[in-house]
Structures are given as structure tokens and as C-alpha cells.
């Protein structure tokens, strides 16, 4: 692959705008077609293959943790694309759930990173992981989790699921999310005031702020609708009175 890419770069330079215009040699044209074909990756297939390999490791009694981590990193890159992220919802949903709640402890934070990647700015994914109970299960983890790195990515995943998504925010509130998050932050601060913990507190406080802001905006929107409704009734009443 690397040799093909180097060859493609050399070919592009030799046939740039400033190069003399000459017909492409048939052999060069054939080589170019083969090089482009070899350099093209079916990303959707790659995502599916990654999911299958990850699933195999999760089912194994001796999973290769290094390979699993590499696959998760690859999936993180692939799911930056919204279409591929939605593809993952079809082929990888069950695998991610298993990785989150039954996978190797050392990969739990990576699973949360992947969940955050998939749900960020993606209402379809936010709806899925809210409706299937994952969000509520994640919120409860604040009660007992003490690993700062895990808490960091737990906040990330919950933030991505709830961001500007009112059903997710409602679940967060119904699950006592505000108190659980704040209690966890206070607990960590009492043990340690390192930069890592202070960054965690900042992220947690921002999550609570965003949730409160969305709720306030909802209340404001409802008030405005109610106010305009009352005004419209008054206008109609005045109009009828005038005609009377």
C-alpha cells in the first residue's frame, strides 16, 4: 500500500499543471488504475469487519486486549463519519453493549469513548441509547465508580447522549443525574485536588449547566407559546367585541 501511495504521489507530480502535456502511456494508465484500486478501502466493510473481530474477542476466553484496543481506535476514526456511525448502529450495537457492561475492565473507558463518538450530534443514536436503557444504566455508575479516567469518559458519553436532546435530558433528571454527578465530583475532590480531578470537576459542572440550560430554554419556550396563545385569544375577543 505504501509503495502504491508513493507511486501515486510521484505520478501526480510528474503530471501536474506545470508539466509538459503529453499523452499518458497505456502502461502508466493501467498502473494508475491498479494503484488506485489497491489504495481504495471500503470503509463500510472495514467497519463491519472490525465489529466482527471485536465480537470474536469478546466471546473468547483469552481475548487479545491490544488488538481489541487497536480495533476500537479504528472504529473511533471510522465513526467520525455520520453515515458510518449510523452503520455502526445496525451492525455494532450489541457488541458495544457487551463491551460497555461485560467487556474487559481495561477497555471500559474506550467503550465509553466509542459511545460518545457515535451519539454526538446524532439524534438517531441518542434516541437509541436513551430508549434501550443504556443512558439510565450509565448514570447509576456515578454512585460507586472511583476511577477518575473512567468518570471522565462516563461524563463524555452522557454529555453526548443528552446534548440538546430533551428525552435524554428527561431521563437524566428522572435518574437523579444532577445529584449523582455532583456527589461524585465532591467525593473525588475530597480525596484529591490534582489537575486531573479539577478537569473532571469542570467537565461535570459543565454537563449539569448544559442540562439546566436546556430545561430553562424549554420552560421559556413553553411560556412564550402560552403567552402568545393568551394574546391571540384576547385579540380575537377584542375583534369580536368591535364587530358587536
- Name all domains of the chain by residue range, CATH numbers in brackets: 44-242 (1.25.10.10)
Residues 79, 76: Cα–Cα separation, whole Å: 5
Which band of pLDDT confidence, cut at 50, 70 and 90, is reported for residue 1?
Answer: very low
* Residue 72 near residue 108, CB atoms below 8 Å: no
- How do residues 189-219 score in pLDDT, each as one tens digit? 999 889 999 999 999 999 999 999 888 877 7
From first CA to last CA, the distance across the chain in angstroms is: 85
- How do residues 22-52 score in pLDDT, each as one tens digit? 556 677 667 666 665 555 568 899 999 999 9
**pLDDT confidence of residue 228:** 58
**pLDDT confidence of residue 215:** 85
Dihedral pair phi/psi, residue 81, rounded to 5°:
-85, 130
Residues 145, 61: Cα–Cα separation, whole Å: 26
- How do residues 85-120 score in pLDDT, each as one tens digit? 999 999 999 999 999 999 999 999 999 999 999 999
Amino acid at each position: 500500500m505504501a509503495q502504491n501511495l508513493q507511486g501515486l504521489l510521484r505520478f501526480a507530480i510528474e503530471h501536474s499543471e506545470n508539466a509538459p502535456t503529453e499523452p499518458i502511456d497505456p502502461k502508466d494508465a493501467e498502473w494508475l488504475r491498479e494503484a488506485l484500486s489497491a489504495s481504495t478501502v471500503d470503509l463500510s466493510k472495514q467497519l463491519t469487519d472490525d465489529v466482527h473481530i471485536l465480537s470474536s474477542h469478546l466471546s473468547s476466553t483469552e481475548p487479545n486486549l491490544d488488538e481489541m484496543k487497536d480495533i476500537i481506535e479504528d472504529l473511533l476514526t471510522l465513526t467520525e463519519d455520520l453515515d458510518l456511525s449510523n452503520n455502526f448502529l445496525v451492525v455494532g450495537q450489541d457488541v458495544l453493549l457487551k463491551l460497555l457492561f461485560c467487556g474487559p475492565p481495561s477497555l471500559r473507558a474506550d467503550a465509553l469513548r466509542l459511545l460518545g463518538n457515535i451519539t454526538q450530534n446524532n439524534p438517531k443514536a441518542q434516541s437509541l441509547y436513551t430508549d434501550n436503557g443504556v443512558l439510565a444504566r450509565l448514570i447509576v455508575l456515578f454512585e460507586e465508580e472511583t476511577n477518575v479516567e473512567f468518570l471522565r469518559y462516563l461524563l463524555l458519553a452522557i454529555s453526548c447522549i443528552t446534548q440538546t436532546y430533551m428525552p435524554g435530558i428527561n431521563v437524566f433528571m428522572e435518574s437523579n443525574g444532577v445529584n449523582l454527578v455532583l456527589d461524585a465530583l465532591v467525593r473525588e475532590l475530597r480525596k484529591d485536588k490534582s489537575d486531573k480531578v479539577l478537569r473532571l470537576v469542570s467537565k461535570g459542572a459543565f454537563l449539569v449547566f448544559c442540562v439546566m440550560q436546556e430545561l430553562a430554554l424549554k420552560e421559556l419556550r413553553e411560556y412564550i407559546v402560552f403567552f402568545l396563545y393568551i394574546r391571540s385569544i384576547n385579540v380575537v375577543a377584542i375583534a369580536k367585541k368591535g364587530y358587536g
